[in-house]
Structures are given as structure tokens and as C-alpha cells.
Amino acid sequence: MKPVIAACAARTRLRRPAGWAWIAAACLSLSSVCRPAAADPNDYIQDLDFAGGEKEIDMQMGAATATPNGAPALEGAAVSYEVGITDHVLSETYLQFANSTPGSTGGGVDGFTEEGVFRFTDPGEYWADFGAMLEVEHPRVWSQGWYLTLSPMLQTDIGDVQVNLNPMVTKVVGGPAYGAATQLGFQYQFRVRTSGPLDYGIQGFGYGKSWAAENVVFNRWNNVGPAVFGRVPLDSGRAIQFDAGLLFGTSNDAPTRTVRAQVEYEFY
């Protein structure tokens, strides 16, 4: 969910063509069959690039148009604080803000989230880095219950292209309005590294099928589009990183367009 840091730029990996084929097939399959549930326009790709002692203050922003089937436009933002507890464990805490009617005054704190990212392998140890993300979120409206998300994480390099794939399972617990809903989701990203000041690539977000969600209608989101990435180094090991994307909906349940961005201040 944060952009890639420079530490991974020089990594070398074992090349396994079967692995590349699996990644491509998985991304294409997710894009075609997943019909995502409600998502935030400021969602971002979580990766496995972090180090012990690294700290980050992030701001994520996004705005989505109305959907073809009439769901309203949506604005969202979040502020987060991340710390690398070790080289294999990252902790992130953030507040989510939202406004379903851009330009109006109905926004405010929309939820609180605590997230842990666990990297199981060292960079370059295998053909891909493997990890997992565990997230606990509580919306501002207490009757909506708790959202518990578990996401296996895969990150690898194909030449100058970094690939991230994060399938997700979200369980909604508590809150009579939501019952015991379970949702599938995914994030994926292809980042092409260049010798210039900006990298470019593709990002995709979605949430899929739900089970045991009686009396609940989930918006079906499936957004994909181009993205740019940048990093501005500062003194004393600090840096400002950013990425931004223009996403396009692939169904009548998704916003026609979503603009999202993230700005990150990294320090030790």
C-alpha cells in the first residue's frame, strides 16, 4: 500500500519462467472474474520493501466519479504512520477520512486501522519475496462491525519490472447490519524502472465475491489504470516518495474514473 523504496532497485533474483507465467495468469484471472466490493478511492498498493528502524508518514488521497449505475461520487483520504519494527515486520496505523459527495461538508474521520506486514523471505533469497498482511479496521459507525483482512503477498522482478500481487480475504465481524460477510479482493502492480526521474506502470484494485452477507449490497469495484512513481532523496537518509494513478472502472458498478495519489516522507 505504499510506493516502492530505492532499496529494491539493485536486487538480483533467480529467474523462473514458470513463476512469471503464474503471476501473469493470476493477474489476468483476477481482473476478469473479480467484481470488487466497496473500495476506497485512496487505496494503495502495499509492498514488501521496508527495513528495521525505517519510519514513514504517509498521506493517501483519491476521488472517484459516480458509477454508470448511479452510485454517488466519492472522495477519500488517509494519514498514516509506519515503522519498521525489524527487517521482517512493519507496523502501520492510520486514520481514514471520506466524503461521499465531493464539495459538500459531510466528511470527517471514517475509520481507524491497524496493520501489520510480515516478510517471510529476505530480498533476492528466492525467485520472489513472500509475505503477508494482517489488517484490523473499525469504521466510524460502530454498528458496521470490524473488518479483518488477511492478505498473502508476492513481490518479484522481471527484468526492470517489479510485480506485486496481493490477494485478500476480508471478514466482517460484529455489527448486525453486516452479519458475517466474507469478501475476496486483490491488488496488483507492475512498475517499470527507468533511468529518469519517474518510473511508470499499471495498478489494479478490487474486491470480489462475498458470502453470508444477508441484506448487504456490496458495490462492485474493479479498477485498473496507468501509474507514475517518483522518489526525491533528502539529506540524512531521508526521502520523499510519491505515486499516482488514473484508474478506469471495468463494469457498471465501478466508478468510470478514479484518481489516486500517495505522498510519503521517509526517515530514520
Backbone angles phi, psi at 217, to 5 degrees: -110, 115
| Distance separating alpha carbons of residues 222 and 247, to the nearest angstrom | 9
Please tell me the predicted confidence (pLDDT) of residue 125.
92
* Of residues 253 and 148, more confidently modeled: 148
Tallying the residues shown for the chain, one arrives at: 268
Burial class of residue 129, CB neighbours in 10 A (0-12, 13-18, 19+)? buried
Give the pLDDT band of residue 166 (cuts 50, 70, 90). Answer: very high
Per-residue pLDDT tens digits for 87-106 = 999 999 999 887 666 555 55
Asked if residue 2 has pLDDT above 70, the reply is no
Cell numbers for 235: 539529506
Confidence category of residue 6, pLDDT binned at 50, 70, 90: very low
Q: Give the integer Cα–Cα distance in Å for 204 and 190.
A: 9
User: Which domains are present in the chain?
Assistant: 6-267 (2.40.160.40)
pLDDT of residue 179: 58
Give the pLDDT confidence of 44-76 residue by residue, as tens digits.
999 999 999 999 999 999 999 988 888 888 888
On the question of pLDDT at 128 being above 70, the answer is yes
What is the CB neighbour count within 10 angstroms for residue 152? 14
**pLDDT tens digits, residue range 190-222?**
999 999 899 999 999 987 656 554 444 444 567
Q: Coil, helix or strand for 157?
A: strand
How far is CA 168 from its chain centroid?
10
* pLDDT at residue number 71: 80
Euclidean distance between CA atoms 120 and 241, whole angstroms = 25
pLDDT of residue 37: 40
161: its cell numbers: 519490472
**pTM (two decimals):** 0.80
d(CA 209, CA 135): 19
Check residue 67 and report its DSSP letter. P
Q: What is the pLDDT of residue 246?
A: 97
Question: 165-181 burial, b if ≥16 CB within 10 A, otherwise e?
Answer: bbbbebbbeebeebbeb
Q: What's the whole-number mean pLDDT along residues 5-31?
A: 39
